[in-house]
Amino acid sequence: MPELPDITIYVEALQRRIIGERLDDVRIRSSFLLRTFDPPIDSVKGKDVREVRRLGKRIAIGLEDKLWLVLHLMIAGRLHWKAIGAKLSGKSSLAAFDFSNGSLLLTEAGTKRRAALHLIRGADALRAHDPGGIELISATRDEFEDVLRRQNHTLKRALTDPHLFSGIGNSYSDEILHRARLSPLAQSQKLTTQEAVRLYRATREVLLEWVERLRAETGDGFPEKVTAFRPGMAVHGRFGEPCPVCGAPVQRIRYADNETNYCPGCQTGGRIFADRSLSRLLKDDWPRHLDEL
């Protein structure tokens, strides 16, 4: 799922292209995409774009008459900037937003249609789409720690809860916890003050670094290589590969559609957590410490 750094680059690329431009048409190919009916989608035609902003992991496009298009890409949704009137071809094409200077295409890989588009009116309706998590890049250390300790969750769950922290998902939470040298299963209310400070600093460092990396990679173009698995990541998507810091093999915890990647050498004192499915299969043969690998 595109997270804060990816959504930030999408928003910046859209700001350069569509603010001040007219939205001439919206072509929706998937009946599952549009989740609202009032105002009707045709009401956006001919409206000028006033603003583009990030709302957690959502992209909000503000139009005249206080209209907002709120787009949630979910896991596999991606955006593409094309010439005016670009065709919607292939099963992955869900919609096209035809502006006076080009067309923004929305695609979604796979067969599950999770991406969502809402058309709403007014500031109150827009706030209802904000999960409410604090903005980590601008939050103070005290604000961060107050939210972190509000409930007792694992650090992985706390960082990825959009009601607590804005814009962090599976991939960047792995990178943040590795940078902070903290276990993904550590309890948020049991962290020492020193550990909480490390986590706060790591969160800001990782997010800011990746925003700058993606800016440099994209330049004035449009981001076309949005992925959760990027070269240069320390642990996310690198199961079995050596940790760039200590050389220990990166481990994972799989659950549902997600997985947590971590370094037992840097983060857990050598302890290896059960992988749920694989550990059940191996039972007594499952290694419980780095020395057993």
pLDDT tens digits for range 124-145: 999 999 999 999 999 999 999 9
Structure-block tokens of residue 95: 């919609």
Q: How far apart are CA 5 and CA 16, in angstroms?
A: 17
SS (H, E, C) 26-55: EEECCCCCECCCCCCHHHHCCEEEEEEEEE
> Under DSSP, is residue 273 helix (H, G, I), strand (E, B) or coil?
coil
- Structural domain boundaries in the chain: 4-127, 141-292
pLDDT at 277: 53
pLDDT at 293: 58
Which helix (H) or strand (E) segment holds residue 175: the answer is helix 170-180
Q: CATH code for 141-292?
A: 1.10.8.50
**In whole angstroms, how far apart are CA 173 and each of 56, 232, 259, 281?**
15, 15, 11, 28
CA nearest neighbour of 203 among 164, 237, 159: 159
| Half-sphere exposure at residue 170, Cβ-oriented, CA atoms within 13 angstroms | 20
Any residues with CB less than 8 A from the CB of 10 and at least 6 apart, and which?
Answer: 2, 59, 79, 223, 226
Reading the chain (293 residues) residue by residue, the pLDDT tens digits are: 899 999 999 999 999 999 999 999 999 998 899 999 999 999 999 999 999 999 999 999 999 999 999 999 999 999 999 999 999 988 999 999 999 999 999 999 988 889 999 999 999 999 999 999 999 999 999 999 999 999 999 999 999 999 999 999 999 999 999 999 999 999 999 999 999 999 999 999 999 999 999 999 999 999 999 998 999 999 999 999 999 999 999 999 987 678 899 999 999 999 998 876 544 433 444 456 665 65
pLDDT at 46: 98
What's this model's pTM, rounded to 2 decimal places? 0.92
pLDDT at 284: 46
Strand ranges, E, within the chain: 22-28, 47-55, 58-63, 67-72, 77-82, 93-99, 102-108, 116-121, 251-255, 258-262
pLDDT at 255: 78
pLDDT at 288: 60
- Chain-centroid distance of CA 4 in Å reads 5
> Quick check: 122 and 93 in contact, CB under 8 A?
no
Q: Domain 4-127 is in which class?
A: alpha beta
pLDDT at 281: 39
CA nearest neighbour of 66 among 127, 117, 137: 127
